[in-house]
């Protein structure tokens, strides 16, 4: 039996969280196209790389990648997308870069780009176990770092004949050595999801920002800063919800200068929701 796509505004949806790093102030606060511009050096041993912009057709998926310079590798990553109904649909390291999938749930083409946090420090990558997500339902998944490692960033992967119909909620550092994801299956058939963690032996710390309210049918950003003298290696966010999350993450990346994190949501619910950004910080 073929799967049936359930319209995002009429059925189950999700909140998406990921990781990433630094650009200029104009790239964060400007128009969507400005957010898709290039690279900035961060303090310490981390820098942000924003990949080339891709155009995602209506009701379709698209793939983008941000590649680290030679000799560097991602400690985390994420993506940036245009407001108006395009969401993260997958986010994980690929070679020396970060590959991000986007699902355009709107009726017009939308632009997007992948984002990588790049460092010379070696990291370990962990794919969590595949978790089944029943039709029109939600399930949690996690990836745990090896002993002696802590999480520096993370993402998720989806599995199924049409992964565009599986979005995620609460993609965050669940604890010091774990990355957490809650997936929502927006189809009439079984889907699968796995959390994805990037791990390090260097010290890292987790920090959460203040609650931000997003009104129904609107977009809003939540931010969080690292302590003085630290830089973001990854980050994400989460929203409050009842039943199924419907305040959806459209972008997730570092603040200008690398000193924190910004995550942007679109609230597809019919009531206001509270948002919070989370960041993983390090002194290395």
Q: What is the pLDDT of residues 122-161, one digit of tens each?
A: 999 999 999 998 888 888 899 999 999 999 999 999 886 5
259 three-class SS = coil
In whole angstroms, give the CA distance from residue 184 to residue 81. 20
Write the CA distances from 60 to 75, 86, 238, integer angstroms: 29, 10, 24
Phi, psi dihedrals of residue 25, rounded to the nearest 5°: -60, -40
Residue ranges covered by each domain of the chain: 25-282
Q: How confident is the model at residue 255 (pLDDT cuts 50, 70, 90)?
A: confident
Q: How confident is the model at residue 279 (pLDDT cuts 50, 70, 90)?
A: very high
Q: How confident is the model at residue 20 (pLDDT cuts 50, 70, 90)?
A: very low
Residues 25-282, CATH architecture = Sandwich (2.60)
The pTM is what? 0.83
More confident residue, 142 or 105: 142
């Amino acid at each position: 039996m073929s799967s049936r796509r359930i319209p995002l505004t009429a059925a189950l949806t999700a909140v998406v969280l990921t990781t990433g790093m630094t650009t200029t102030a104009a790239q964060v606060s400007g128009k969507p196209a400005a957010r898709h511009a290039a690279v900035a050096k961060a303090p310490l041993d981390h820098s942000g790389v924003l990949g080339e912009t891709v155009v995602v057709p209506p009701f379709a998926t698209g793939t983008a990648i941000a590649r680290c310079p030679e000799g560097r590798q991602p400690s985390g990553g994420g993506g940036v997308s245009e407001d108006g109904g395009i969401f993260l649909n997958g986010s994980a390291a690929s070679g020396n870069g970060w590959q991000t999938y986007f699902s355009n749930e709107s009726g017009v083409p939308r632009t997007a780009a992948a984002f990588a946090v790049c460092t010379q420090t070696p990291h370990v990558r962990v794919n969590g176990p595949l978790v089944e997500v029943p039709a029109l339902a939600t399930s949690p998944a996690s990836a745990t770092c090896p002993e002696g490692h802590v999480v520096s960033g993370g993402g998720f992967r989806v599995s199924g004949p049409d992964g565009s119909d599986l979005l995620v909620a609460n993609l965050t550092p669940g604890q010091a050595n774990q990355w957490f994801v809650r997936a929502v299956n927006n189809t009439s058939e079984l889907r699968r999801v796995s959390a994805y963690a990037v791990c390090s032996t260097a010290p890292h710390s987790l920090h959460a920002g203040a609650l931000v309210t997003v009104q129904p049918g609107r977009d809003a950003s939540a931010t969080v800063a690292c302590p003085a003298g630290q830089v973001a290696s990854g980050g994400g966010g989460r929203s409050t919800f009842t039943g199924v999350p419907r305040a959806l993450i459209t972008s997730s990346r570092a603040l200008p200068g690398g000193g924190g994190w910004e995550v942007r949501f679109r609230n597809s619910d019919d009531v206001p929701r509270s948002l919070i950004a989370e960041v993983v910080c390090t002194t290395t």
